[in-house]
Amino acid sequence: MAYVGPVTRPDLMTFTGPCTAALGATFGFVVGNAFGNPWIGALIGAALGFGLAFLLCRFDVPRTAGRWAVIAVFAILGLVLTNVGGAIAGALIGGVLSWFVYWLSTGAYRKNVPIYYTSLQTLWYNAFLFICGLVFFFLVAPLVPVMWLSFNAEDFFTFTPEMLSFDPAGYSLKHYRDFLGTDEWMVPLKNSLIIAPIATIISVTLGTLAAIGLSQSHVPFRQWIMATMISPMIVPLIISATGMFFFYAPLGNWLEATLGWNQSFVGYVKVILAHAVLGVPFVIITVTATLVGFDNSLTRAAANMGANPVTTFFRVQMPLILPGVISGGLFAFITSFDEVVVVLFVGSAQQQTLPWQMFTGLREQISPTILAAATVLVTFSILLLTTVELLRRRSERLRGLSPG
């Protein structure tokens, strides 16, 4: 049971102030390091943090007005000390510090904590959330400079003084024009858009059928079969790629010699089948997770009403497991669209995909257009993962695992 009643406001001098000072010292250390004096910056940050907590708590400044005032003051301070970039950094620091003060001073840090938790348990609960947020930040943070540099007006991988000062002259869309306006990049993009959807359809079809079959308790050795089918997720990709090369190379030669298929077409077939193998495990896992809450009495009722297995699947099962199927398909699509190792082993120059072109560009010629391509891939992946999360929530609502 979570604690929902009123909380006693923590003491300013022994709790809120010191905690805010510690956070301010952390920010001050980072900022001071940029100026060559990290420890002096930590002392100034601690003093600012404690003073901020004292002013906001002692005078009971309203949350909205207090936060905006702190953000404005820190933004002006950053602008005076550096430039527009410093103003943005100051606004972010001010926003975090002001939120932290109100979060502590109002007792909101115990909002979702069970009432019987001790102080140490409450500390660990919030520390765990902070650690998770920190891990997420360090995973996502490297993407920000890449996306920022993709708008560089110059042809190199460094931040220019104009970019750091947010001068419009330092920014340009030239790299995006190079990406969208040359065959060097558009042909690999077209190949990716051909290979990924077809591989996804195959993965979804095979993975969904496998998940439904393996969800039946009477299937012998189903755990061993499941482990074998999801092994492409576990086995190192370089090993999988090597095995696929030795398997698909003779298959491609046989298709060309016996059936007379075009070499380029055979290359596409090999890459599509290889990517489908990589995508099947994602579909199996997501569909199996959806089938955990599936009521099998619905299929038995459909059979009693005279429906054949195919009709039962499409009219009863499929609508309920559809969110899991689509989620698995999106994961399979992302896997195929972003994959480069298997393509290098199985494909040829005619099947050069966008990640392959990016890898070649990094190895042979350092072109900032790679940053524009990476930004497009990251944005596309974020949109797909957002769709996956929305579908997951819809699936939980349909199965009654979360409120509508």
Tens digits of per-residue pLDDT, 90-125?
A: 999 999 999 999 999 888 888 888 888 888 888 899
Strand pairing partners for 258?
none
Residue in 100, 95, 87 with CA at minimum distance from that of residue 68: 95
Q: Which residues of the chain have pLDDT under 50?
A: 1-5
Q: Taking the chain, what is the end-to-end CA distance rounded to the nearest angstrom?
A: 21
Confirm if 9 and 101 have CB atoms less than 8 A apart.
Answer: no
pLDDT at residue 75, as a whole number: 92
pLDDT at residue 5, as a whole number: 46
pLDDT at residue 4, as a whole number: 41
The CATH fold of domain 175-398:
MetI-like fold (1.10.3720)
> Going along 155-200, which residue ranges are E strands?
none
Chain CA centroid to CA 49, Å: 32
Could you report the per-residue pLDDT of 216-248, keeping only the tens digit for each? 778 888 888 888 888 888 888 899 899 999 998
**Between the CA atoms of 238, 240, 245 and 248, what dihedral angle is there, to the nearest 10 degrees?**
-160
Chain CA centroid to CA 238, Å: 23
Confirm if 152 and 145 have CB atoms less than 8 A apart.
Answer: no
pLDDT at residue 403, as a whole number: 52
Confirm if 98 and 70 have CB atoms less than 8 A apart.
Answer: yes
pLDDT at residue 144, as a whole number: 86
**CA 238 – CA 281 distance, rounded (Å):** 17
Q: Could you tell me the pTM of the whole model?
A: 0.72
CATH 1.10.3720.10 location in the chain = 175-398
pLDDT at residue 48, as a whole number: 93
Residue in 386, 278, 402, 251 with CA at minimum distance from that of residue 341: 278
- Is the Cα dihedral 389, 394, 397, 399 positive or negative? negative
**Between the CA atoms of 309, 310, 314 and 317, what dihedral angle is there, to the nearest 10 degrees?**
20
* Residue 347 DSSP SS3: coil
